[in-house]
């Protein structure tokens, strides 16, 4: 509804505003004690609560102190609330945002109360999904959830004696942060807000001990399609037909070493499923497994770009005269395309005399060059290309390496551009004949 500046309010809105204004003076009766710890305190615990709804989310922190007589006291020390985003989001996501807000409140409270030593820190939430997310590795979750879980784990990773627990909805004081109620109704819950749940001042045996039920965790990344696709790539029949699938799998990785190890584990999995009486394999990958994985990656990489050359070499023993790699004198070595060259009688290692041919525009080629550049501590184009060519021969390798190193942030920072100052005029003694 839109109204001009001088238009009277509708009757419903006007009556709600008058009711709210009439109840405001009752807030003057609220009192909070400055002292939040009991006298002669011998033990202090921190208890944090978080909750969320479709309208907003909030968190609050209480200190539970125990005196020498064994009496327990609790007091509110910090609370904060947030309005839910305008863009509609799920309730579990809002519960996770509330948990992140609680973690940040803990960070601020701990910084302000550095002189207080907490024997135990307990965070309470009534969301089963959010608690499961917090105990899940962030890299297995989707972006929105992963970023917030990673931040929560970063804040609490060095906190001693910290646990997350499940609390019933009707015993969560954080619900008052965003409920939206009249002052009179809030005054009726003021003790609950100032002191927390009634069981907080009782012995721990009376606290809620709800078991965190197992559930299907939402927004988890699914790697099974890519793993299943990777296993199908292990079969060496019809490599040219698998080029698109291979490209899809390879692009999921940003490191050639990781790609090689994942495919090696796929080899091991297939081996164990096919051989019921297979030999027990160690956890660490062997050199043979890594070698088989590397060779299979190279075969699938070459099958897409050099399909005609491979087929011609396999059936005719030579590449076509119009091939772009004719001057490299390529040949097949156990199904892998290698450079022939003129170094057959040299003392170089076999991989240097006959390096593996790599296509110019391919994700695997980029991964190999990037990994080499990282291994050499970002030593530049020339050193990186020379190291790559000890085993591989990328087409147009210098330009490809230059492009990848230009995109590398660390390489760019380590070699900033120099400042070119305009030189002054030469003195007359250097210009006149003498």
pLDDT score, position 237: 63
- Phi first, then psi: what are they for 59, rounded to 5°? -150, 155
| Signed CA dihedral, 263, 264, 268, 271: sign only | positive
Query: Of 85, 109, 86, which Cα lies nearest the Cα of 96?
Result: 85
What does the block give as tokens for 291?
């070698």
All structural domains of the chain with their residue ranges:
28-206, 223-305
pLDDT score, position 249: 82
Q: What is the distance of C-alpha 50 from the center of its chain?
A: 24
Q: Does residue 401 contact residue 381 with C-beta atoms inside 8 Å?
A: yes
pLDDT score, position 266: 85
Distance CA 193, CA 44 (A): 19
Contacts of 102 (CB under 8 A, 6+ apart): 48, 49, 50, 59, 61, 123, 125, 174
| Torsion, CA 290, CA 294, CA 300, CA 302, rounded to 10 | -170
Q: Does residue 178 contact residue 98 with C-beta atoms inside 8 Å?
A: no
Contacts of 358 (CB under 8 A, 6+ apart): 298, 301, 302, 364, 365, 368, 392, 393, 394, 395
pLDDT score, position 229: 64
Phi-psi region of 177 (alpha: psi -120 to 50; beta: other; left: phi over 0): alpha
Topology (CATH) of 28-206: Nucleotidyltransferase; domain 5 (3.30.420)
Distance CA 402, CA 400 (A): 5
User: Which residue in the block uniquely carries the two structure tokens 């760019």?
Assistant: 412
pLDDT score, position 23: 84
Weakly modelled stretches of the chain, pLDDT under 70: 1-2, 222-229, 231-232, 236-243, 275-283, 416-419
pLDDT score, position 242: 66
Distance CA 135, CA 214 (A): 12
Integer-rounded Cα radius of gyration of the chain: 34
Query: Of 56, 93, 57, 63, which Cα lies nearest the Cα of 77?
Result: 63
| Torsion, CA 151, CA 154, CA 157, CA 159, rounded to 10 | -80
Number of H helices, E strands in the chain: 16, 9
Query: Of 124, 141, 152, 138, which Cα lies nearest the Cα of 212?
Result: 124
**H or E element that contains 377:** none
Sheet holding 120-125, edge to edge: 72-83, 56-67, 41-52, 120-125, 162-166
| Signed CA dihedral, 267, 269, 273, 278: sign only | positive
User: How many residues make up the chain in this entry?
Assistant: 434
Distance CA 232, CA 334 (A): 21
What does the block give as tokens for 90?
């799920």
What does the block give as tokens for 146?
């992963």
Distance CA 358, CA 352 (A): 14
Stated pTM of the model: 0.56
Q: 216-253: per-residue pLDDT in tens? A: 788 887 655 556 667 667 776 666 666 677 777 888 88
């Amino acid at each position: 509804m839109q109204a001009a500046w001088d238009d009277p309010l509708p009757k419903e809105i006007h009556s709600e505003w008058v009711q709210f204004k009439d109840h405001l003076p009752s807030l003057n009766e609220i009192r909070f004690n400055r002292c939040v710890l009991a006298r002669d305190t011998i033990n202090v615990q921190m208890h944090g609560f978080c909750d969320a709804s479709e309208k907003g989310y909030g968190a609050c922190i209480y200190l539970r102190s125990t005196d020498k007589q064994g009496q327990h006291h609790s007091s509110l020390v910090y609370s904060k609330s947030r309005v839910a985003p305008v863009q509609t989001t799920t309730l579990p996501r809002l519960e996770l945002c509330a948990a992140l807000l609680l973690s940040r409140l803990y960070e601020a409270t701990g910084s302000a109360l550095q002189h207080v030593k907490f024997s135990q820190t307990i965070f309470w939430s009534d969301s089963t999904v959010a608690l499961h997310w917090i105990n899940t590795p962030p890299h297995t979750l989707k972006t929105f959830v992963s970023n917030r879980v990673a931040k929560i784990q970063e804040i609490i990773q060095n906190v001693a004696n910290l646990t997350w627990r499940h609390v019933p909805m009707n015993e969560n004081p954080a619900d008052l942060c965003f409920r939206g109620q009249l002052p009179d109704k809030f005054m009726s819950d003021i003790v609950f807000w100032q002191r927390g749940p009634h069981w907080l001042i009782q012995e721990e045996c009376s606290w809620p001990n709800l078991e965190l039920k197992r559930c299907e965790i939402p927004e988890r990344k699914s790697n099974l399609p890519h793993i299943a696709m990777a296993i199908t790539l292990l079969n060496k029949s019809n490599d040219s037909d698998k080029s698109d699938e291979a490209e899809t799998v390879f692009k999921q990785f940003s490191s050639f070493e990781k790609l090689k190890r994942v495919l090696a584990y796929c080899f091991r999995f297939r081996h164990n499923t096919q051989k019921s009486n297979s030999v027990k394999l160690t956890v660490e990958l062997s050199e043979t497994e890594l070698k088989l994985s590397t060779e299979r990656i190279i075969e699938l990489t070459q099958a897409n770009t050099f399909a005609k050359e491979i087929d011609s070499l396999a059936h005719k023993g030579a590449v076509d005269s119009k091939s772009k790699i004719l001057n490299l004198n390529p040949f097949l070595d156990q199904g892998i395309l290698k450079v022939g060259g003129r170094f057959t009688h040299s003392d170089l290692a076999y991989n240097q005399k006959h390096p593996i041919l790599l296509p110019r525009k391919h994700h695997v080629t980029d991964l190999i060059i990037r990994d080499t550049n990282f291994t050499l501590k970002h030593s530049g184009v020339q050193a990186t290309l020379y190291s790559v060519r000890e085993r591989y021969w990328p087409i147009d390798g210098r330009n490809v390496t230059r492009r990848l190193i230009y995109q590398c942030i660390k390489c760019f920072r380590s070699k900033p551009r120099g400042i070119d100052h305009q030189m002054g005029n030469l003195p007359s003694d250097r210009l006149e004949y003498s």
